[in-house]
Structure 1
């Protein structure tokens, strides 16, 4: 309760990254208070929708790959501790022209880090995955060590395990204000003030408000996931299931990049996909959560360029929030003016696969001010973030 003995660390935001940080801090014996506006696994931010891709042949930058090794191990550990099924490896394929970032970047990362992979021609992709009909000049990099994780289950698992390890977690308690003074911090909610030696801020799409003093060039964007029904007469149902179908990312020529999943929850759940970089600017508090028919039509038309038999009705569609940096790399590090404050935000739509390792990094930064993990790419003061 406010006014009690100060905590070692307060964590603001118990979504994907904050829940992992609270878990890692509690495991190390820190006295942790976590504060969250909503309930665990809510759908107001960026950690919902049933599935998130996990992959290692990382076309965004090969510097992410060592972090992914740690993250895979972290997901397996969290599964054991929580008793929840979180990560399913069904394979992944990344399709594009030979020189495209999607294909060539994935290939370069696989070669640099010695990742097992196969390079497939368009004809080989069609033969192995009959749901797909890529352009004749497309190439695909396939890796078996890819798949998906369950975001809501992961968030719930982290907070449950953190609580068992001794973390004090408050839900439905929005943070109104935080300040750093001397070597400590104060966090104010509607219930009063809390004190701690260190603060971790994982604000998701609320970063522009909670980190306003850092003047970070963040764009909060409204994204939409879509689930469609395939034509099972043209391509039998098993071909769309995770037993036979990989996760995928595809951009060939001037197409907008799309990504998606096998049919993970049976035919009634639909076949999920979305645009990878096609958001509408918004804020976390003003997002339009309505889905418009034109959005479904546009998504299905683009999807059918790769999946010609994805011709059935839309099953459902949901909004999600991306918080995007100009270079689309994360922001993880110490606050430049307050070294007792650690921040993690700007995950740009590709951060969920790093949840366990980001939790470890934030625990390192909060307790020691440094980490052995390679995070130079995510420096809050890097030149690409400066106006």
Structure 2
């Protein structure tokens, strides 16, 4: 095995494997390192499914990224011949019309994203499985849907290796040395050198780079699958969803082939220190109780027996915006981290961005809101 590469990628999760595929397909000698054997359950990509939607509030830069990501996922699906994306539509429900709600509408109009404005009565007529108080409203994205996250990683891994990338699994990084325009990465398998370095280490990214801590906090998050008591929640027919109750932000997925309705909470969560074990689902009664209480209130017909639960890690930044860009003071190092629980849908385009930063030194997409420099 060689010890020198054009680029080394630390972290072969969703972002790392996507970047590895893009780089190797462009003829770049690429080494990927991961502490596990992806896809695995120690990061932020497991749990079978992730939502993909395009109407973002806040920074409008998210919308072009989401639209480009959609095209790349569709291309990957065609190239691989595997089902990676299910177009279910995504319904975003809110208790009140917020600034974020209005911003989503404005950004959708600006970029031509199909979006329907619905009141509670409209939602009940179309999806009677919801139970929403009068006065609540929703924004429905008919082109939104569900990505099969672990299947996406398996495809990226296969295609990256076929394109010539090398992958070392179960190989944690012990140290990184940045010297001028070079990087040296030491692992149990040896030390590897490259002229370019990419850090996509998820929740572990905070402590990877010497003297350059990234403001990323690992957060323990739970998801659960509940048995639906009727066909109202099955796909096709029932959409993916997000619900802002005023007391919490929840998201979920329809019942695919009897798998149950999957639900999680986006906000809150328990910080996890580096090296601290990620306690399994059910460690406390609150793991199920919190999610069941939401289901009983807003999707009562899908609050049956708990089928299974899982735990993953968010990698949250202080402002919950991503960190994507070249490391200040080290232009040969690119980072993509802090995806704060809403990043998987962007993995396809983030890989393309990292390829462009590595090969061309820039991306054609607006990365201003995601600059690492904003935390200096």
TM-score (norm. length: structure 2): 0.95
In 2, distance between residues paired with 1:311 and 1:69? 33
The yes-or-no answer on 1:244 pairing with 2:237 is yes
Residue 195 of structure 1 deviates from its aligned partner by: 1.1
Q: Which residue of the partner structure matches residue 198 of structure 1? A: 196
Rounded to whole Å, the distance in 1 between the matches of 2:320 and 2:220 is: 16
Which stretch of structure 1 is more off in the superposition, 242-251 or 93-102? Answer: 93-102
**Mapped partners of 1:363, 1:307: distance in 2:** 42
Q: What is the match of residue 341 of structure 1?
A: 333
Q: Which residue of 1 aligns with 2:209?
A: 211
Q: Residue 54 of structure 1 is aligned with which of 52, 55, 77?
A: 52
SS at the partner of 2:88?
A: coil
**Any idea what the Cα deviations from partners look like across 1:131-161, whole Å, max 9, x if unmatched?**
1011101111111110110111111111110
* Residue 365 (structure 2) pairs with residue 378 (structure 1): no
- 1:71 and 1:289 mapped to 2: Cα distance? 32
| Structure-1 separation of matches of 2:303 and 2:173 | 45
- Structure 2 partner of 1:109: 107
1:70-81 alignment, distance < 5 Å: 70-81=68-79
**Aligned equivalent of 1:127:** 125
Counterpart in 2 of 1:28? 26
Give the whole-Å Cα distance in 1 for the aligned partners of 2:48 and 2:236. 18
Correspondences of 1:283-302 after superposition (within 5 Å): 283=273, 285-286=275-276, 287-291=278-282, 292-302=284-294
Whether the 8 Å CA contact 1:97–1:103 is kept in 2: the answer is no
Q: Which runs of 5+ in 1 are unaligned?
A: none
**Alpha-carbon distance, 1:60 to partner:** 4.6
Aligned residues: 374
Identify the residue that residue 152 of structure 2 maps to in structure 1.
154
**Contact 2:9 2:32 (8 Å CA) reproduced:** yes
Deviation at 1:212, TM superposition (A): 5.5
Residue range with higher mean Cα deviation, 306-315 or 13-22: 306-315
Q: Out of 39, 42, 54, which is 2:40 matched to?
A: 42
Distance 1:5 1:312, change over 3 A: closer
Tell me how far 1:6 sits from its aligned partner: 2.1
Structure 2: distance between partners of 1:183 and 1:298: 49
Q: Deviations over 1:45-102 (max 9, x none)?
A: 1000010000011135332010111101111121122222111111011111442256
- Secondary structure in 2 matching 1:62: coil
- TM-score w.r.t. the length of structure 1 is 0.93
1:103-124 C-alpha deviation (Å, 9 max, x unpaired): 3343222222222121111001
User: Please, what is the CA RMSD of the aligned residues?
Assistant: 1.5
